[in-house]
Structure 1
């Protein structure tokens, strides 16, 4: 939505935002905004003037820059938002700004302040331990991989252009500056390597600055540490994008691969499982998806309502089972044929397996959890024997060996 008053024009994603933004002093350069409009939050280093301001209940980050790059960055941030990439939320672009005397002012790009986030320099006000820095770099590597998977070349990856937010015992990294970014259908290896080389050089320089100010742990070598980011990125990229071929009787290898991806911080869905021409081997290429994807997809395909981790596991089993069916048509995961197969899986695989566990032994477990535990037992037995033991054997072992050791059923 765009709102124009005289020469001032506010283009916003939300119809409510232009009216809220009108109260801010757009006739003043950002550096001269009165304190009553500003919010005292830590700011990172930026080539542009940036201030935090309040508009209604919103805390905003306002950045001054030329009109074309402001509008371009606004568009790129909206694209990243639609793709579910961790980045600051674009709210508006304000053009046509003029002083009270009629002098033109730079365009303002407005994003929503990312609550609980910190620029890296604020995090180094007390010397950060190397183990914590490793988690910080892991988060940045994950962000870079996610950007590259959707075809976004950052062009200026650095600690300064990233915000970090604590995520349980780890960190989550968010892109905060997309000014140099470019979107493509896919990125070539050269484009990805260019981004990584820039990141390595930028981060080494930033860590050297911290070292000179005495804010870097003495055991940290800035050059070696920045090189470690590139190694972590390659590890993640390879694990996420390599296509694997497994023998049909080694289906637990797929489960092992998914577990590794989960441990690396990625969710997996639509695994593109398909049998090879001889029908004896299965190819596997994972995709990264947003949180809650599995719950929604499982409910849509099967009518089963499960928790996210349960749904992830059930969908993985469904995908693997479908690849073994003669009437499976890979490449159309949302097609009608897939829905038919999914309902057949519920009828022929899921329900018989759950019913194979006597009701009095299930305690208070719901059917999705029972099936999840059967799959866990199948994976354990298959890993131990070196081949897929099958669901029937896993169910028998679960009933005879596992359940008796878990105590009496809940009343």
Structure 2
């Protein structure tokens, strides 16, 4: 059988042909590999360079490889945080000996497997943020009708997200996509997550990498509590007194604060007209991401987007051509109602990107950023400005904050960033 590369992009096969497909992954020469931290996997996995791309290559049988490739493409269409599928390579041989096919996904820049994060003892508060990120990911999968079948820390990658974390699905091999999940399917997924996470933390405890105050069994149960609370908030039916429509607005704002938009809703009146029933039928994640992308063209994680929108709103208020009657960036865009000569919010937003965001990020030398993306770097600079301003009891400005951050903070935090020579995209 001839070598066959089934790819999502017509440009990828030519780049992938440079890799040594006639060798098992375990024997690939170092010149093709990229030294990135890997999590535990039942399959052989390697990071390799294909042109300007860094890819994850996983050996597995053809049927599960093709199936997982299809599921990852489905998750991409549903806008679910998961690794980006690039190709499946079949027909590999070493002389007359057949070799296992491989699934190829794009490396998630700036991400880490959980074991790499525990190389130094992680504080319980940070672990809680990991559980929050994993609970959000599991809820988003279930809302989309995806039963994971093997939710665990090992099958997840984590990226920094403005002081929190964003979780991405890595392994979809055991997953199934349905139009809607039953309560039993969700409960089964959740129980697997509890058992898997407790087991992984017990393993860390045995190796001495777990904080002594952390109870592995309790933390396994914690994912269930966090999931249940978020699922209830996103799907519960609310009954309000008739005429109190602001209660519905308040519920929608609460969902927005959690990072979700209500894309479709059902509102019904009781037979006697005393109450109104509100049911959010379709809830889409990424509320602040979409607002930031629409206003500025910047694509960021949800918490990063929320932070950048807050900074944008504060900056807009200082501009002479901003009308106080305009809606803030975090609300739905409308035309200016105040000064007829005032600039529209989206015009101001692009000016903020051009005059504030990009110059600030570019003031940090590229070689010092590591794999930190532009949005996370800007968040770090805002945090540092706040710290310095509190200490000085006045606003010290972004320029001063950047200088101090590069000299005193960045050399320290670079040690905690993923080790990679992947080029960081420009701001």
- TM-score between both structures, scaled by the size of structure 2: 0.68
Residue of structure 1 in register with 2:77 after alignment: 82
Decide whether the 8 Å contact of 1:269 with 1:289 is kept in 2: no
Decide whether the 8 Å contact of 1:269 with 1:294 is kept in 2: no
Report Cα offsets for 1:315-374 as digits up to 9, x if no partner.
xxxxxxxxxxxxxxxxxxxxxxxxxxxxxxxxxxx99xx57xxx5xx9968689xxxxxx
SS state at 1:309 partner:
coil
Q: 1:94 aligns with which of 71, 89, 103?
A: 89
Q: How does 1:161-310 map to 2 (within 5 A)?
A: 161-276=155-270, 281-286=275-280, 287-291=283-287, 309-310=330-331
Residue of structure 1 in register with 2:123 after alignment: 129
Q: How does 1:29-108 map to 2 (within 5 A)?
A: 29-99=24-94, 101-108=95-102
Residue of structure 1 in register with 2:10 after alignment: 15
Decide whether the 8 Å contact of 2:146 with 2:181 is kept in 1: yes
For 2:61 and 2:160, the matched residues in 1 are separated by 33
How far the C-alpha of 1:118 sits from its partner, in A, is 0.2
Q: 2:137 aligns with which of 143, 146, 151?
A: 143
How far the C-alpha of 1:243 sits from its partner, in A, is 1.8
SS state at 1:62 partner:
strand
- After superposition, the Cα gap between the structure-2 partners of 1:17 and 1:260, relative to the gap in structure 1 and judged at 3 Å, is same
- After superposition, the Cα gap between the structure-2 partners of 1:130 and 1:23, relative to the gap in structure 1 and judged at 3 Å, is same
Residue of structure 1 in register with 2:152 after alignment: 158
How far the C-alpha of 1:166 sits from its partner, in A, is 0.5
- After superposition, the Cα gap between the structure-2 partners of 1:203 and 1:363, relative to the gap in structure 1 and judged at 3 Å, is farther
Residue of structure 2 in register with 1:311 after alignment: 332
SS state at 1:177 partner:
coil
For 1:367 and 1:86, the matched residues in 2 are separated by 29
- TM-score between both structures, scaled by the size of structure 1: 0.71
How far the C-alpha of 1:250 sits from its partner, in A, is 1.6
- Structure with greater contact order relative to length (CA < 8 Å, sep ≥ 6): 2
Q: Does 1:28 align with 2:49?
A: no
Decide whether the 8 Å contact of 2:329 with 2:345 is kept in 1: no
How far the C-alpha of 1:274 sits from its partner, in A, is 4.7
For 2:293 and 2:59, the matched residues in 1 are separated by 41
C-alpha root-mean-square deviation of aligned residues, in Å? 2.8
Residue of structure 1 in register with 2:360 after alignment: none
Decide whether the 8 Å contact of 1:274 with 1:284 is kept in 2: yes
Report Cα offsets for 1:12-66 as digits up to 9, x if no partner.
0000001110010000000000000000000000000000000000000000000
How far the C-alpha of 1:102 sits from its partner, in A, is 1.4
Decide whether the 8 Å contact of 2:132 with 2:223 is kept in 1: yes
- After superposition, the Cα gap between the structure-2 partners of 1:217 and 1:364, relative to the gap in structure 1 and judged at 3 Å, is farther
Report Cα offsets for 1:86-131 as digits up to 9, x if no partner.
00000000001000x2100001000000000000000000111100
Gaps of 5+ in 2: 296-325, 347-427
Gaps of 5+ in 1: 1-5, 299-304, 315-349, 369-411
- After superposition, the Cα gap between the structure-2 partners of 1:285 and 1:19, relative to the gap in structure 1 and judged at 3 Å, is same
Structure 1 or 2, whichever has the larger Rg, is 1
Residue of structure 1 in register with 2:386 after alignment: none
Residue of structure 2 in register with 1:400 after alignment: none
Q: How does 1:319-330 map to 2 (within 5 A)?
A: none
SS state at 1:285 partner:
strand
For 2:222 and 2:53, the matched residues in 1 are separated by 38
Decide whether the 8 Å contact of 1:165 with 1:172 is kept in 2: yes
Decide whether the 8 Å contact of 2:240 with 2:277 is kept in 1: yes
Residue of structure 1 in register with 2:380 after alignment: none
Q: How does 1:390-405 map to 2 (within 5 A)?
A: none
Instruction: State how many pairs are aligned.
Output: 314
Decide whether the 8 Å contact of 2:87 with 2:103 is kept in 1: yes
For 2:167 and 2:126, the matched residues in 1 are separated by 14
